[in-house]
Amino acid sequence: MSYELDPLPYDYDALEPHISEQVLTWHHDTHHQGYVNGWNSAEETLEENREDHDFGSSAGAIRNVTHNGSGHILHDLFWNSMSPEGGDEPTGALADRIEEDFGSYEAWKGEFEAAAGDASGWALLVYDSFSNQLRNVVVDNHDEGALWGAHPILALDVWEHSYYHDYGPARGDFVENFFEVVDWEEPSARCEQAVELFE
């Protein structure tokens, strides 16, 4: 199986002034493409090793599947969690669930911002199927700190390449502006799917 980079679901300049056309171009076309390429390369190595019954490089390739696969999946989630029409608070079942699990939207947002400020990779809102609740998760790189059984609902990329060109070292300003473009339609659908699977 070969993985491909989907086009952005909006124009490269659609999220300005919050995220610039230049950052989206670099981030999507170069960084994200790199994870797709890395995942495909790792899968090819594993397939060749299985055919040759030579597993000397298999452990490294397995790690590359995890790292690059997670990078591809989370970037895909990140792009689809934003839109030019974003910026509102969640509504419906997701809003109710956030209120139930965090006390209020403001409490969730404050905790999510804290996660984004500390992560060296991603801040995620996930549905934890083991505990049957929403959680914020700090994920370093793409796969360190992930929670088994958790289904990502919303992803915020806080690697420097996602904001430094626009905001310099002011990551907090980038995180604040992320909420100006969050489109809750996709996260709401993801949450509904995850909850339906386990409730």
d(CA 15, CA 104): 27
8-state DSSP, 90: P
d(CA 41, CA 61): 8
Q: Which amino acid is at 73?
A: I
Known binding-site residues for Mn(2+) equal 27, 75, 157, 161
CA-based nearest residue to 26, from 179, 174, 172, 164: 164
Known binding-site residues equal 27, 75, 157, 161
d(CA 99, CA 92): 11
Q: Quick check: bond before 17 cis, omega within 30? A: yes
